[in-house]
Amino acid sequence: MTGEDNILKLVDAEESESGEYHLQDQVGFILRRAQQRHVAIFSSYISDLTPPQFAALAKLRDVGGDTSQNQLGALVAMDAATVKGVIDRLRARGLVELSRHDGDRRRLLVSLTVEGRRTVDALIPLATRITEETLSPLSPKEVATFLKLLARLA
Amino acid sequence: MTGEDNILKLVDAEESESGEYHLQDQVGFILRRAQQRHVAIFSSYISDLTPPQFAALAKLRDVGGDTSQNQLGALVAMDAATVKGVIDRLRARGLVELSRHDGDRRRLLVSLTVEGRRTVDALIPLATRITEETLSPLSPKEVATFLKLLARLA
DNA sequence: CCAAATTCATTCGTACACAAATGATACCAG
DNA sequence: CTGGTATCATTTGTGTACGAATGAATTTGG
């Protein structure tokens, strides 16, 4: 930090050691806006399900068998309280159903109903397009780079 | 989709045309997890203010003069209803104050109180470290690349 | 085998986030 | 000047998101 390092300005050019702090250039802020844009794209394709609801269904689809609510939560990165709300709403719509685990009476198994399964299957192609549109400002090569770096931050 | 195009696998290698859909590999999902990690880091450094609250304060700090609630909302990417809640809470804590615009009685001007100003100033160094820690899994060069690409998605 | 620690789910409270509806004010065209 | 339109803020309703507390059931250590 003693003088020679203005070469490093390329690295953190957004604010460097100048004492300035610009909200616009902070990862957290940009991350939040990217999220917002993604959610907007999502709901333009799928308006009757939220991203977390879809995530739960998609995950249930690829684990196949039943999972407990907590386990599912871990898989879709939601805490217990959040998962409960999501599952409750999906259940109210008949897309998932709950049953007790036999052998461990604490556990509540979640599974797709026939309609839930049909619904997710039908939405997968749209979900793929949502991903594509979200990434559309980047070239294929940039997409690959971006996803690799983003995954390291998650 | 008829056979020859496995060359394209480099492009969307995460799932390609195989019919598989893995939630883990979708931008939206990873973006959400990256957000979660960032928020966790944020609150480990600043536990008495949320990221949106800090964003509002930081923005007020760098616009200097007063701004209307809606204008501030645009600057920090929050809609009118969300901004109202954030400002209400900051006001309850004495960090910002509101006044009527003279000449346009619809507008509600938001400004930092002395304490609000002191608070943000004191938090800026922590905010810088939050950004650094969030980006710490990446090398400086990767950070530059990542921020450039992320900004294009936001 | 039993008490202590752990796990699963639920509940409560707080804080975004956004759509839609509403009321007040301001602006603009005719 | 006036009626239509746009803007600012607020309110309501729904849906995440998470910390903390609670109770029931299971697991573990001694």
Q: Does B2 touch chain A (CB under 8 A)?
A: no
Burial of B105 (0-12, 13-18, 19+ CB in 10 A): exposed
Distance CA B123, CA B66 (A): 21
What residues contact A149, with CB distance under 8 A and at least 6 apart?
B138, B142, B145, B146, B149
Distance CA A36, CA A33 (A): 5
pLDDT at A95: 97
Supply the mean pLDDT for chain A.
90
**CB < 7 A contacts with chain C (nucleic strand):** A 32, 36, 39-40, 68-71, 80-81, 84, 104, 106-109; B 50-53, 77-82, 85-86, 89, 103-106
- Which CATH number does the domain housing residue B142 bear? 1.10.10.10
Q: Please indicate, yes or no, if residue A96 is contained in any of the structural domains.
A: yes
| Same structural domain, B93 and B25 | no
- List of chain B residues whose C-beta atoms are within 8 Å of the C-beta of residue A55: 23, 29
Please report, rounded to a whole number, the percentage of residues in chain A having pLDDT higher than 90. 83
- pLDDT > 90? residue A7: no
Burial of B92 (0-12, 13-18, 19+ CB in 10 A): exposed
Q: Please indicate, yes or no, if residue A5 is contained in any of the structural domains.
A: no
User: How far is CA B132 from its chain centroid?
Assistant: 15
pLDDT at A153: 95
pLDDT at B2: 41
| Same structural domain, B82 and B28 | no
B25-61 residues labelled b (16+ CB within 10 A) or e (exposed): bbbbbbbbbbbebbbebbeeebeebebbbbbbbbbbb
Residue A44 has phi, psi (to 5 degrees) of -75, -25
DSSP notation for B82-131: HHHHHHHHHHHTTSEEEEEPSS-TT-EEEEE-HHHHHHHHHHHHHHHHHH
| Residue A88 parent element (H or E) | helix A80-92
- pLDDT > 90? residue A92: yes
| Same structural domain, B80 and B146 | yes
Query: CA–C1' span, B1 to D14, in Å?
Result: 40
Q: Do A144 and B30 touch (CB under 8 A)?
A: no
The minimum CA-CA distance between A84 and chain B, rounded to whole Å, is 18
Residue in chain B closest to A57 (alpha carbons) equals B23
| Same structural domain, B106 and B70 | yes
pLDDT band at residue A11 using 50, 70 and 90 as cut-offs: very low
| Same structural domain, B64 and B41 | no
Q: What's the one-letter identity of residue B91? A: R
Q: Find and list the nucleotides of strand D having atoms within 7 Å of a protein beta carbon.
A: 7-13, 15-21, 23-27
- B24-54 pLDDT per residue, tens: 999 999 999 999 999 999 999 999 999 999 9
- For residue B101, the number of C-alpha atoms closer than 13 Å in the C-beta half-sphere is 15
What residues contact A133, with CB distance under 8 A and at least 6 apart?
A41, A45
- pLDDT > 60? residue A6: no
| Same structural domain, B36 and B73 | no
- pLDDT > 90? residue B90: yes
Quick one: which of A78, A103, A79, A98 has its CA closest to A88? A98
B117: containing domain:
54-153
| Same structural domain, B147 and B115 | yes
Cβ pairs bridging A and B (under 8 Å): 157
pLDDT band at residue A66 using 50, 70 and 90 as cut-offs: confident
Residue in chain A closest to B140 (alpha carbons) equals A11
Distance CA B19, CA B13 (A): 13
Quick one: which of A15, A10, A30 has its CA closest to B124? A15
Tokens of B78: 């929050």
What does DSSP assign to residue A101? P
Q: Do A21 and B130 touch (CB under 8 A)?
A: no
| Same structural domain, B98 and B142 | yes
B118-138 residues labelled b (16+ CB within 10 A) or e (exposed): ebbeebbeebbebbeebbeeb
- pLDDT > 60? residue B10: no
Quick one: which of B84, B112, B94 has its CA closest to B48? B94
Mean pLDDT of B80-87: 97
Work out the widest C-alpha separation in chain B, in whole angstroms.
69
| Same structural domain, B107 and B132 | yes
Q: Do A140 and B55 touch (CB under 8 A)?
A: no
Instruction: Please answer whether residues A97 and A113 qualify as being in contact, where contact means their C-beta atoms are separated by less than 8 angstroms.
Output: yes
pLDDT at B19: 66
Overall domain count for chain A: 1
Mean pLDDT of B108-137: 97
| Same structural domain, B13 and B86 | no
User: How far apart are the two ends of chain A, measured CA to CA in Å?
Assistant: 29
- A35-44 pLDDT per residue, tens: 999 999 999 9
Q: Does B44 touch chain A (CB under 8 A)?
A: no
Q: Please indicate, yes or no, if residue A92 is contained in any of the structural domains.
A: yes
pLDDT at B66: 82
